[in-house]
A and B are shown apart, each in its own frame.
Chain A
Amino acid sequence: MLADALTRCHQDRVTGTLRVLGNAGGLFHLRDGVVIAVDSPGSPGADTLLLSSGRISAEDWTAALVESVGTRSVRAALVARGSIGSAEVEVVALAALQDAAFAVAAGDIEQCVVSGDSAEVTPLAVDEGIGPDLLLSETARRLDVVASLPVPVSPYRDRVVAVSGVGVSTAERREIVAHATGRRTARDIAFAVGRGVYPVVVEISRMLSEELLEIASPATSFSFSHGDLTSLRPRAEVTEVERPV
């Protein structure tokens, strides 16, 4: 469904957005039929990748957002501040775009809606854009890689927990272990560590096969706790009951 919609947008040289409804869902920003940016709740955006890697500071990002209100280009404002080069933004924006396309394709897709209205603010966009053919083939390749991993990991469903007492070697792995509380999915961990969801899924699969992580039990993933409220209405009666001091 996504491939059809993107290909049609390319043929019609759409400038606007393709909204993918679903979970995680996402928003493809298009210019003359090529994809210039993709936003998805399933993957950290280019801003998160830039901030978490320390390439830009939170102050620069906030200032660039303010300055871009008139020009509508956060990217131009960011580069104008001199904190980062245009080429570096391009690389990160392209990585975020491909990661978001993967995040959309790996989730449930209910509906695709094309809008010619370009009122949506485009996030950090890739200058030249990327044609749907190239984007779709790269996305399919990533889905294949994830499907053939030694331990399959669903980025949205499997919640992972660190195996206690096992040491990990690299800083990236230590960061994943620190966030693997059993409540978080691969997607949640990707946001917490500020890395792409695709590399995090691949790394988590390897760590599962090396028994550094394990899939958490439902009791760990969902920890319900409740007080002794018996009902909302008879609260007055409860207060009359003798309570231990």
Chain B
Amino acid sequence: MDYDALAVELRWLRENVTGVTDTVIAASDGIPIIADVAKNVEPAHISALAAADLGIARQAAEVIGLGALTQTVVFGTEGYMAVYAVGRMSLMVALGDKGLNLGRLLHESRPVVERVSSILTS
């Protein structure tokens, strides 16, 4: 697996979207693939939570008839956790502080998800 190429994508996201603090790419079963996180953040925990979060959101989208799930965002008073489906096999997580430019994140992350998907499947 080309970890360097994945690192480039994660770094780009944190440098270009104000407020992104940590990023993780994981398999959809919650096994971490690559992480760029602060010392107090455990990639395995984030990956597991994100996998569960994405699974529930995906199920909700299917049951309610919202089409294919692309992303789900947790809003907290102190920050955000955005989880993106990267195909059916993996996911990407972006954690943000309370000032996160969420609109920009949702916009900028689309091409990143596309590229991450092709890196993971190549």
Which residues on the B side are within 8 Å of A183 (C-beta)? Answer: 21, 38
Which residues on the B side are within 8 Å of A222 (C-beta)? Answer: 7, 10-11, 14, 36
Question: Contact between B98 and A188 (Cβ–Cβ < 8 Å)?
Answer: no
Question: Contact between B1 and A24 (Cβ–Cβ < 8 Å)?
Answer: no
Question: Contact between A232 and B34 (Cβ–Cβ < 8 Å)?
Answer: no
Q: How many chain-B residues does the 8 Å CB contact rule pick out?
A: 35
- B78 CB to nearest A CB, Å: 10
- B77 CB to nearest A CB, Å: 7
Question: Contact between A191 and B99 (Cβ–Cβ < 8 Å)?
Answer: yes
Question: Contact between B18 and A107 (Cβ–Cβ < 8 Å)?
Answer: yes
Interface of B is mostly: mixed
13 intermolecular pairs with C-beta atoms under 8 Å apart: A23-B101, A25-B18, A41-B18, A157-B15, A183-B21, A188-B19, A222-B14, A225-B34, A226-B6, A229-B1, A229-B33, A232-B27, A232-B89
A123 and B90 CA atoms in complex are apart in Å by: 38
- A218 (CB) vs chain B CBs: closest residue: B11
Question: Contact between B36 and A224 (Cβ–Cβ < 8 Å)?
Answer: yes
A207-238 toward B: CB 8 Å interface, digit per residue (1/0)?
00000000000000011111101111101000
Question: Contact between B18 and A187 (Cβ–Cβ < 8 Å)?
Answer: yes
Interface of A is mostly: loop
* A interface list, Cβ under 8 A from B: 23-25, 40-45, 48, 58, 107, 156-157, 181, 183, 187-188, 191-192, 222-227, 229-233, 235
Question: Contact between A41 and B34 (Cβ–Cβ < 8 Å)?
Answer: no
- A39 (CB) vs chain B CBs: closest residue: B99
B24-56 toward A: CB 8 Å interface, digit per residue (1/0)?
000100011111111100010000000000000
Within 8 A of A (CB), among B88-106: 89-90, 97-101, 104
Take A23-B16, A229-B1, A231-B1 as given contacts and tell me if A188 and B97 are in contact as well, using a CB distance cutoff of 8 Å: yes
Question: Is B57 in contact with chain A by the CB < 8 A criterion?
Answer: no
From B3, B38, B101, residue with most partner A Cβ within 10 Å: B101
Question: Contact between B27 and A229 (Cβ–Cβ < 8 Å)?
Answer: yes
Question: Contact between A226 and B101 (Cβ–Cβ < 8 Å)?
Answer: no
A107 and B18 CA atoms in complex are apart in Å by: 10
